[in-house]
Structure 1
Amino acid sequence: MQLLNVILIIFLIMCAIAVEKTKDLLSAIVIFAAYSLVMAVLWLLLKAPDIAMTEAAIGAGVTTILFVAVISKTRRMEK
């Protein structure tokens, strides 16, 4: 179980760096959604199912939909 936590935390760090480095905003949103889903799994492993459900619904669900809606009204690539 400890190894799984370490692997998930390393994946979170890689996602955070990838979101910061990418210039394509849609790709950044997809990576951010993956980050939120992995955070939800970590909350579940920490025995906090209420926070895990909230993170999955708001972090990966609603926020991703709002970001995609905003990008559809603007440019996809950052300058």
Structure 2
Amino acid sequence: MLSELFILVICAGILVSGILAVSLHGLMAAMISAGLASLFAAVSYVLLAAPDVAMAEAAIGAGLSTLVFLYAIRKTNAGKE
């Protein structure tokens, strides 16, 4: 019962982070929110007993792609609004 509630809270975090990523006007803040949604997804995969998928999501989705996008935003000066 408690684990189901925790999974629902994590899924609500994914939804809130996704909505924030779409609605925020700053590119930097939106990308950080998208990375946070990916991190919540990795935690939910761990809770659903899929550790291999969770490691891939955390490494690529939350880690690598977020860093690449943040680096690109910073280098193009598009993050300064």
Normalising by structure 2, we get a TM-score of: 0.89
Fraction of identical pairs, as percent:
36
Which stretches of structure 1, 4 residues or more, deviate above 4 A after TM superposition?
none
Contact persistence 1:22–1:28 (CA under 8 A)? yes
Aligned length: 78
- Listed one character per residue, the Cα deviations across residues 10-54 of structure 1 (whole Å, up to 9, x for unaligned) are 111111110000010110111111111110010001110000000
What is the deviation of 1:73? 2.3
Are 1:12 and 1:35, in contact at CA under 8 Å, matched by a contact in 2? yes
* Consecutive unaligned residues in structure 1, runs of 5 or more: none
Quick one: which of 49, 63, 74 aligns to 2:65?
63
CA-based RMSD: 1.2
Q: Residue in 2 aligned with 1:76?
A: 79
Alpha-carbon distance in structure 2 between the residues aligned to 1:6 and 1:21: 22
Post-superposition offset of 1:77: 5.1
Any gaps of 5 or more consecutive residues in structure 2? none
1:8 counterpart residue number: 10
TM-score (norm 1): 0.91
